[in-house]
Amino acid sequence: MQPQELRKFYDELISCIDEITTQIEEVSSFETKYGHKPDQQWEYRAKKKLRISMQFATKVEAINKPLPKSYDQRYQDHFMRILLEELGPTALKKIQAEASTIARSESNE
């Protein structure tokens, strides 16, 4: 799924969770207020849907969060940014192309 699709799916899940929670609270309040016996089957199904929706939302939320970068990744990001600032884009691309050429020639040996 694309990030925007995941976001839309997550928003729909949150809306569904809110709606189910509201319905459970309203039914419980109504039953208490008017002395009706709780519909245990309905409550079971509603809570099961709520649990499943919450599990999906948690998984989607985890997918949307980027994994923390390792020290090496952060080092490389900062190193390349500093090189770019110091050398400029043209010189940096030339150095990267030369390093790539050397690496390819060494791997063919």
- Write down the pTM of the prediction: 0.58
Instruction: Report the pLDDT value the prediction gives residue 38, as an integer from 0 to 100.
Output: 82
DSSP letters for 13-77: HHHHHHHHHHHHHHHHHHHHHHTPPP-HHHHHHHHHHHHHHHHHHHHHHHHHSPPPPPHHHHHHH
Instruction: Report the pLDDT value the prediction gives residue 67, as an integer from 0 to 100.
Output: 66
Instruction: Report the pLDDT value the prediction gives residue 12, as an integer from 0 to 100.
Output: 94
Instruction: Report the pLDDT value the prediction gives residue 2, as an integer from 0 to 100.
Output: 80
Instruction: Report the pLDDT value the prediction gives residue 54, as an integer from 0 to 100.
Output: 92
For residue 88, the 8-state DSSP code is -
Residues in the chain where the model's pLDDT stays below 50: none
Instruction: Report the pLDDT value the prediction gives residue 4, as an integer from 0 to 100.
Output: 84
Instruction: Report the pLDDT value the prediction gives residue 14, as an integer from 0 to 100.
Output: 93
Instruction: Report the pLDDT value the prediction gives residue 109, as an integer from 0 to 100.
Output: 66
